[in-house]
Amino acid sequence: MSARTIGVGLISVGWMGRLHTRSYKSIPERFPELGVRPRLVIAADAVAEAAQQAVDQLGYERCTTDYRDVLSDPDVDVVSICAPNFLHKEFALAAAEAGKPFWIEKPMGRNVAESVEIARAASDAGLVTAVGFNYRNAPAVSHARELIERGALGMITNVRTSFLADYSSDPQGALTWRFERERAGSGVLGDLLSHGFDLATFLVGEIDEVSATTGTYITERAKPTSANASHFSKSAGGEMKTVENEDVALVIAKFASGAIGTFESSRIAIGPRAEYVIEVYGTEGSLRWDFQRMNELQVSLRSGENYGYTDVYMSPGHGDFARFQPGGGTSMGFDDLKAIEAALFVESVVTGEQKAPSVHDGLAAARAADAAERSAESREWVALPR
């Protein structure tokens, strides 16, 4: 059987744009049963040099500095939206209008209003979508979900989620779009906890209500000196500007199931580098996953011989592990989670059935972040709309 060609259009050639591209490329090898051969058609970036790199380094056939060229290209079947947050709504609405299924990075919109518009546009156009909630795809998370679903942990009582990173811990870190309310929306609530809210929802169900507090501790940063500075770039000596969104957030939550939980996040933590942890506790056991030790799941079951955690090393049989490594103990990496995401997106496009996290999941995370922001302002509990 000859493979079906899927024309890929990319909008924004930054960290995520490059990673989406590598992920599409891996589909024929990692997911041969999809019978899909991605064709890298056209990439857009506002910075001409970055757009050109998409041709020279990534293998796109053509490039442009105008995203509209991607959406109007008849060879493009699917679109990746990997732009900074403030452009997501414009690009997603345009993709929906052009009838192109899109894979959009998180946070989907800068706020709930934008996320509602994006979700509605995709639904009205009848498009399948994907949102960049890659941590769902870790085999350890798949195994955790399986354990929870088959009742191994008993009734879920509480959840602890903490997303602690150090990417902004240096006061000389450049003031890129991520620190501006106009271009990013919220700070860690959207940037990091969108993943946390999604992961907790994926494992234990919908969040009903939250109470939160937030803080900004590095209140000024220097503007970047180069056009393609990232949030990992340093910018000593540039013009100082105010940081407009939160560095740290603490959220407590009630889930629809009756479970309760905490969500903690920082982008200025010193020590944890990308320590993204979820712990789920039940009446019969608990589990703990840390992205920094992505290939392990710590599990403790009352029925086990010993209390305390057992480290379960990911092996063939856990989630999609076997697609990447033949034997347990050999590690998968972050990029592999995105390869799975690409496959879920493309499978959604090919089958017409939504397999990847959708715009509705993007909206659910936005609602949790928005409720947390409102709670931090009002100092009251805020219910999430249904």
Residues that bind ligand NAD (CB under 6 A): 11-16, 44-47, 50, 67, 82-85, 87, 105-106, 132, 134, 191, 228, 230
CB-wise, 79 or 259, nearer to ligand NAD? 79
Cβ 251 to ligand NAD, closest distance in Å?
19
Cβ 132 to ligand NAD, closest distance in Å?
4
- 10 Å CB burial of residue 116 (0-12, 13-18, 19+) is middle
- Reading the block at residue 100, the tokens are 């192109």
CB-wise, 84 or 316, nearer to ligand NAD? 84
CB-wise, 137 or 142, nearer to ligand NAD? 137
- Backbone region of residue 258 per phi and psi (left: phi > 0; alpha: psi in -120 to 50; beta: other values): left
Are the C-beta atoms of residues 310 and 298 closer than 8 Å to each other?
A: yes
CB-wise, 28 or 84, nearer to ligand NAD? 84
Neighbouring CB atoms inside 10 A of 355's CB total: 16
SS3 content of the chain, % helix, strand, coil (to 5): 35, 25, 35
CB-wise, 198 or 296, nearer to ligand NAD? 198
Cβ 68 to ligand NAD, closest distance in Å?
10
Strands, sheet with 296-301, edge to edge from the N-terminal-most edge strand: 310-313, 296-301, 285-290, 274-282, 156-165, 260-266, 248-255, 207-215, 382-383
Neighbouring CB atoms inside 10 A of 262's CB total: 16
CB-wise, 46 or 125, nearer to ligand NAD? 46
Following DSSP, what letter does each residue of 47-67 receive, concatenated?
A: SHHHHHHIIIII--SEEES-H
- Reading the block at residue 262, the tokens are 């905490």
CB-wise, 104 or 372, nearer to ligand NAD? 104
Place of tokens 């949102």: 131
In the complex, which residue's CB is closest to ligand NAD?
A: 14
Cβ 259 to ligand NAD, closest distance in Å?
25
SS3 286: strand
Cβ 383 to ligand NAD, closest distance in Å?
26
